[in-house]
């Protein structure tokens, strides 16, 4: 028999282990080399990107034109193209001189007031101060205000000097207006190069919708401390309903002793279940439901008017539209959130699907008020109203500027057609009667 020493397998395993370690070291070294190369390459690339960022569209046109002129001058031998290329190149070089200079500004943007109602006056003030030790040359400041752009020329400022610039803010319609950031602009007069520096953050101005006062006697908008009774019978509540015979497990505290003594058997009280008023206020911002922007603004104002009245009566309230739930702890927070409502292309195929989806996780409401536009058909409104129990009133507020104000029934729901905001309170009172 031949004896085996057993040394072949350990030698092979040691060789494979050494090979793996060598490959791992080579892999780590290659990765480190790639990282170092990236750091070396990224810095010049970043510098080139920053330099390219100061060239405007017109500046790129000039650079390309200069390059094309030199190519044509070389290929065709025309001196005129060479002169044109040199002229354009010198123009770009001259524009570079306007980019140099350092500013030491502190810029503050103040809006007075920060919250206004649509149509009220709002003013802004941009204060530019030199916080450096040297004078700062004149510069141009740009301040985006909503969809517009305000431009100011800041004069030469000595150390510790400041410049105030007042501007008016258009507030003719409900909006969330963002002012800022303030940007200083350096560049040539032809607009070939442009270097900007940001000096401030954005400041928000809330332009609230107009609201109408709604009487507390309007349907479902009455403060109810004890809640509203329902058809559900329970063994413990506030609204007495009837008596029944005692059954094992009933609470002895519900025994009606007078009836027990008269009938000779234990009798217990039954109650109608009550629940605190819980209003669900919905608004679909789907573009297809509104004939115009004015109609949409009327719908937002109606939504805010109902919500503010319910909040003032300290009733429970949920306010929803397609994108979010509005904060309803105070009238101010609710009005702030209404500034963000905008016409959209809704992802819901119908009003019923919208109401079912957004209200799926909410408590059962005691009243539903839905705000829609003139494009919502009676069939869609009826289908949406069928989502709720028969003891839950449903009121539709329909904004329709080109129609006549009215109140009618759509199935078991009430439909109030509003043409002007001041009609809202009276129409809700009619729906309540």
pLDDT given for residue 326 in this prediction:
93
Note if the pTM is more than 0.95: no
pLDDT given for residue 112 in this prediction:
87
Give pLDDT < 50 ranges for the chain: 1-5, 217-220, 222-240
Taking a C-beta distance cutoff of 8 angstroms, is the pair 325, 319 a contact? Answer: yes
Give the domain 278-432 fold.
Rossmann fold (3.40.50)
Strand partners, 269: 243
The predicted-structure confidence for 23-69, as pLDDT tens digits, reads as follows 777 777 777 777 766 666 656 656 556 667 788 888 889 999 999 99
Check if 105-208 and 278-432 are the same fold. no
Sheet holding 239-245, edge to edge: 228-234, 267-275, 239-245
Listed in sequence order, the residues at least 6 apart from 14 whose beta carbon sits closer than 8 Å to its beta carbon are: none
Give the domain 105-208 fold.
Immunoglobulin-like (2.60.40)
Residue 253 CB neighbour total at 10 angstroms: 8
Strand partners, 148: 145
Q: At what angle do helices 79-96 and 57-76 cross, to 10 degrees?
A: 150
**Share in percent of the chain as helix, strand, coil (round to 5):** 35, 30, 35
> CA–CA separation, 209 vs 217, rounded Å?
23
Give the sign of the dihedral formed by CA 389, CA 395, CA 399, CA 402.
positive
pLDDT given for residue 217 in this prediction:
46
> What is the DSSP pairing of strand 175-179 with strand 105-112?
unpaired
pLDDT given for residue 236 in this prediction:
47
User: What burial letters (b/e) apply to 8-42, b meaning 16+ CB within 10 Å?
Assistant: eeeeeeeeeeeeeeeeeeeeeeeeeeeeeeeeeee
Domain ranges of the chain: 21-98, 105-208, 228-275, 278-432
The predicted-structure confidence for 135-186, as pLDDT tens digits, reads as follows 888 888 999 998 888 889 999 999 999 999 998 898 989 999 999 899 988 8
């Amino acid at each position: 028999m031949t004896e085996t020493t057993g040394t072949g397998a350990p030698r092979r395993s040691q060789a494979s282990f050494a090979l793996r370690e060598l490959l791992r070291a080579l892999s780590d070294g290659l990765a480190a080399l790639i990282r170092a190369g990236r750091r070396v390459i990224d810095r010049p690339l970043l510098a080139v990107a920053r330099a390219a960022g100061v060239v405007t569209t017109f500046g790129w046109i000039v650079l390309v034109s200069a390059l094309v002129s030199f190519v044509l001058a070389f290929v065709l031998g025309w001196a005129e193209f060479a002169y044109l290329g040199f002229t354009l190149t010198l123009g770009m070089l001259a524009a570079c001189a306007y980019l140099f200079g350092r500013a030491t500004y502190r810029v503050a943007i103040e809006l007075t007031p920060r919250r206004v109602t649509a149509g009220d006056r709002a003013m802004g003030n941009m204060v530019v101060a030199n916080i450096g030790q040297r004078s700062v040359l004149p510069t141009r400041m740009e301040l985006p205000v909503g969809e517009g752009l305000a431009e100011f020329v800041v004069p030469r400022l000595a150390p510790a000097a400041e410049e105030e610039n007042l501007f008016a803010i258009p507030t003719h319609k409900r909006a969330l207006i963002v002012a800022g950031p303030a940007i200083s602009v350096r560049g040539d007069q032809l607009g070939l190069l442009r270097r900007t520096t940001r000096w401030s953050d954005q400041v928000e101005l809330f332009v609230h919708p107009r609201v109408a006062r709604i009487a507390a006697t309007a349907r479902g908008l009455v403060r109810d401390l004890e809640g509203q009774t329902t058809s559900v019978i329970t063994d413990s509540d506030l609204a007495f309903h009837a008596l029944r015979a005692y059954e094992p497990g009933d609470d002895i505290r519900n025994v009606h002793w007078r009836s027990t003594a008269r009938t000779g058997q234990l009798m217990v009280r039954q109650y109608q279940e009550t629940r605190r008023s819980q209003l669900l206020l919905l608004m679909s911002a789907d573009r297809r439901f509104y004939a115009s922007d004015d109609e949409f603004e009327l719908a937002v104002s109606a939504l805010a008017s109902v919500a503010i009245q319910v909040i003032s009566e300290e009733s429970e309230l949920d306010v929803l539209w397609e994108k979010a739930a509005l904060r309803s702890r105070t009238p101010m927070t609710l009005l702030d959130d209404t500034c963000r409502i905008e016409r959209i292309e809704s992802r819901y195929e119908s009003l019923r699907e919208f109401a079912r989806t957004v209200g799926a996780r909410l408590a059962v409401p005691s009243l539903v008020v839905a705000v829609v536009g003139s494009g919502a058909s009676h069939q869609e409104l009826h289908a949406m109203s069928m989502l709720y129990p028969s003891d839950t009133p449903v009121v539709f507020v329909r904004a329709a500027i080109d129609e006549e104000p009215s109140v009618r029934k759509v199935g078991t729901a009430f439909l109030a057609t509003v043409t002007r905001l001041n009609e809202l309170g009276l129409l809700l009172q009619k729906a309540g009667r």
